Structures are given as structure tokens and as C-alpha cells.
Amino acid sequence: MEQTPLVASILNATLLVVAILALIQGAHGIGIGVNYGTVANNLPPPAMVAKFLSKSTTIKKVRLFDANPEILRAFGNTGIEVTITVPNDQIPDITNLTYAQQWVKTNVQPFIPATKLIRILVGNEVLSTANKLLVSTLVPAMQTLHVALVAASLDDNIKISTPHSLGILSNSSPPSAAKFRQGYDTHVIKPMLNFLKDANAPFMVNPYPFFGCTSSSTLDYALFRSNSGVFVVDDNTKLRYTNMLDAQLDAVYSALKVLGFEDVEIVIAETGWPSVCDPAQVGVNPKTASEYNGNLIRHVTSGAGTPLMPNRTFDTYIFALFDENLKPGPSCERNFGLFWPNMTPVYNVPIIMRNNVAVVANSHYKVFLSIVIVLSLICTWV
């Protein structure tokens, strides 16, 4: 049947609407998460925290550094996706299948399906510890825990991974030349990537532009101040970088590509900016923390991607939910929190619900406006 111009226009418009609706559906799969650390003696009860996050913020994902049963129960029936962690010291034990199965029975099965568990992390920044026992047992532990999930028919919904610091890279500048550290690359990371790809699980990294900001000259670059005129050009690709996070993520991507695994998803397991630090540290105050995290949220959810990974969004977990007053080290380590213990914001960041309406990322506004425009055009044509 021959199409009239009117029919063709309506069909084209319909296809556009379908595409836009698909984009919206995809956008809902990408959420901003938060790291919920508990190295403190002044934190509110987990039930209050879970209620606050689910009712008063746009946070859709939470990462725990253990498998605290009280916290897991608290997030039941909230719809918030929860990631739990096998502590580093338990990694060698998890290589034993009986131990792994018991770990799943104790730390996973009692809480599902009420608590929406999506991921188990085996340790945190294990390769950076340089502990030979932990490094050598990391991948076997991940594989064994996966077998335990398969035996319990949980592997479709709960994935296994482990987060890495950027110290796993032998070099990161320029981003296109980045590689994993020699020795770790073929003996640990490549087998790990084989496992992640087969299990459809992500490669998780902890990029911190804050720690790469060593002087006032790099502050604009670290804080996403693209209008400052500060940028870096990769001499190999001639691609232009206007923020440090993109350069860090593209360095990870390039290292994955060297090993043939550029198609494995990258998830940002940790990133953040402290609001208080020692006097010598550059650019640390509530204003810069607000600026970094606000720009971070807008950037990773915008769909812009990075120079080497355009048109992508990134699952991102901000560090951290609360300040942790018992953490050792420099004062900044105790001051990454988004909220005070009374759950008021330390500074402004676009994750608060205002009058039960979410403050959403710019990309969602654009999608909504696109639908309005297309529907208006259809009405005009008809």
C-alpha cells in the first residue's frame, strides 16, 4: 500500500516517540548511588536511614562495606538496590565452596526478595594492598561465590565484582596509552575480566579527581569547570578533555581495550569530595564539595559519556553518605559525607526531594521536552 505524506509523517513521529520512550526506560536503569560507611559512633539507626533515602532523596542504590544484617533488613521493601561486600580478610575463605555457600545462606538468602540485593563485592581495592595471599585468591573467590549463587539460583539477579583503585594502572596519561600494571594484567586482571564478561558483571573502579588535584592549577579541571578554559589534549587521539574524571575513566577503558575487554561495563564504585581537610590541601570546603558532586551527577547521567566512550551513562556511587568520625588518616578521610547524622545536608547537592518532587538530572528534562515537541508535531500534522 502506498504511503501518503500524512501517514509517513505519523509513522516517523511514532518511531521517534518509541525511541524516546526507550531512552527514558534506559535512563531509569542508571541511578546515582551512595556508599554507606559505618566507621563512626554517631550515626542514626539504619531504619531511619533507609526511610530517609527512599522517601526524601533520589538515591536508588546503596553500597555497603560489609553485609550488616540490620542494614539489610532496614532496606527491605524500599526498592533501593543494595550492594554488599565480602571483607578483604574473608577472601581466602570464600575460595572454599562450602564456606561460600554458607556465606550466601547467612548474608543473602534471609534478606531477599524484600531487600533488593544486586551485587556482592569481593573485597575492596585488593590489588592495591599488594598482599600476595589476597591477590592470588581474589579471582578464585569471585568464581567460587558465583558458583554458590548459581547453586541457589540467584546468579541472574545478583552479580559478583570487586572495586579497584586507579593504582592498578601503570600509567594513565595520556588516557589512550593507559595499561594495567605488569604482572597483574595477565595473571589477575585478564582472568577476572574473562569471569566478569561471562557473568555479565561490571568492572568497578574508584576514580577520585580530588586525589589527583595537587595544586590550584588543576582545581578547575577536577571540578568539571568546563567554562574555565582549562582542558587537556591527548596527543595520540587529539581528543580534548575538559574534566579529570573523563580522563580517568578513559584511561581505564584504554587499559581494558589492551586486554580485549573494552565491551565490559565500567561502574564508578566510589568517587567524592571532602568538605573539610587539613590546611595544606587545595580546594576543600563545602562549596567545592557541592560543586564536584553536583557536576558529577549531571555529567554521568547526561548521556554525554567521555571522549573515548561517547553517548554513555555510568552507574555511580558517591562517597559517602555520612562523615565517619572514627576513620584513621588525614582529616579529609572523615569528612566525605553528604549528610550530617541528623540527616540534614552538609551542603547542597541535587539528590533531595523537594515537596515530594525529585530534583532530576538535565538529561531527564531533555527527554521530557523531546516528547512534548514530538507530540506537538503529531498534532500539527494531523
> SS3 sequence, the chain?
CCCCHHHHHHHHHHHHHHHHHHHHHHHHHCCEEEEECCCCCCCCCHHHHHHHHHHHECCCEEEECCCCHHHHHHCCCCCCEEEEEECHHHHHHHCCHHHHHHHHHHHCHHHCCCCEEEEEEECCCHHHHCCHHHHHHHHHHHHHHHHHHHHCCCCCCCEEECEEEHHHEEECCCHHHCEECCCHHHHHHHHHHHHHHHHCCCEEEECCHHHHCCCHHHHHHHCCCHHHCCCEECCCCCCEECCHHHHHHHHHHHHHHHCCCCCCCEEEEEECCCCCCCCCCCCCCHHHHHHHHHHHHHHHCCCCECCCCECCCCCEEECCCECCCCCCCCHHHHCCCCECCCCCECCCCCCEEECCEECCCHHHHHHHHHHHHHHHHHHHHC
Q: For this structure, is 324 an active site residue?
A: no
From 81, 270, 291, 324, active-site residue: 270
Q: How far apart (Å, rounded) are the C-alpha atoms in residues 138 and 146?
A: 12
Of the residues 2, 70, 125, 262, only one is catalytic, namely 125
Please indicate whether residue 270 is annotated as part of the active site. yes
Catalytic residue IDs: 125, 270
